[in-house]
Amino acid sequence: MNISQSFVAMDNIQLLETQSGCISLAKLAIDRYERIKQTIRPSDFIQWEKTLKKQDTKKYVLEHSPFNLLTTCIINGLGLSERYTDPGTLQTVALLRKLEHHLGCFPHLSDDNSFRSKIGNLEGFNFLATLSELSLASYFSKAGMAVTFENRFCKLSDGNRKDIDLTLTDVHGEQIHLEVYSPFQTVDAEGFIDPNEGNYHYAYKLAKKSLDKFGNDGIAGLSGKIFLAINTAFFDSIQIQKLHGLETIKHLHREALVNLPQGVDGLLQFSDDFSAEHSLRFEGFYVHRITP
């Protein structure tokens, strides 16, 4: 979607040409969401303005992909200022509503500096990746499981301390740990598309993510099962294969199990593009090894 084409006729489009204009639009959006407003501090706006000073602000907002929290708020605020609705602004509404909902499920996160740093990270895919974590956390919390964030463990291959994204504890005290990963890929839709073309890249990213996180020699400090949870919604070649109903995705994930490092028990495949209230879909559960 070319967002810039949607907004060319807007009266307030000139606000995107200055840092102060962009920040005013972001504040307009944030003011509509009480929990997000509690999470974003004055220091965040100062940092955002510093970031915008290094950019062609209009180009940064309209051409930045994927969305981060700043561009999401600015585009949403621009739509609000014009009382204008199009696919671009609707997408930002959906993202902010999701964030507001998840913060309602876990209100302590508004004061958690680690979380605030993650959700406000403007680089790459961090914003949408954090929403992926929150989607799973909210789902399992509503299912009656206690959810904690960023429990520490030791990667034995180098002794480094790491964080696991989510820990789920049931009523019997049994735990499942989820490291949430949202691989990102865009495909040029012009011409012939081989739906399997991105499979090697996808498998490589899964293997690299799990190896970087857990190493080759196992981990210490976590009890229970450990799974790599993969949001496939933003990896275009996988989405194309789903549309064609291809079985290769199942084979791809089964093969990925072979490359999981020691201590990781399997893969949880899900999809959430945050486009609707109930946009989370579970798509596969692959167990690497079963231990007594």
pLDDT computed for residue 279 by the predictor: 95
Give the CATH number of domain 126-287.
Answer: 3.40.1350
pLDDT score, position 288: 65
Map out the domains of the chain as residue ranges: 3-109, 126-287
Q: Distance from first CA to last CA of the chain, Å, rounded?
A: 49
3-state helix, strand, coil in the chain (%, to 5): 50, 15, 35
What pLDDT does 119 receive?
94
The pLDDT of residue 54 is: 92
Provide the pLDDT for residue 191: 56
Residues in the chain, pLDDT under 50: 1-2, 4-5, 8-9, 291-292
* Strands 225-231 and 281-287, bridge-based pairing: unpaired
> 242: which residues sit within 8 A by CB, 6+ positions away?
232, 249
Compute φ and ψ for 284, nearest 5 degrees.
-175, 150
Tens digits of residue pLDDT in 165-174: 999 999 999 9
Say what the pLDDT of residue 82 is. Answer: 77
Cis peptide bond N-terminal to 195, omega within 30: no
Q: What is the pLDDT of residue 286?
A: 84
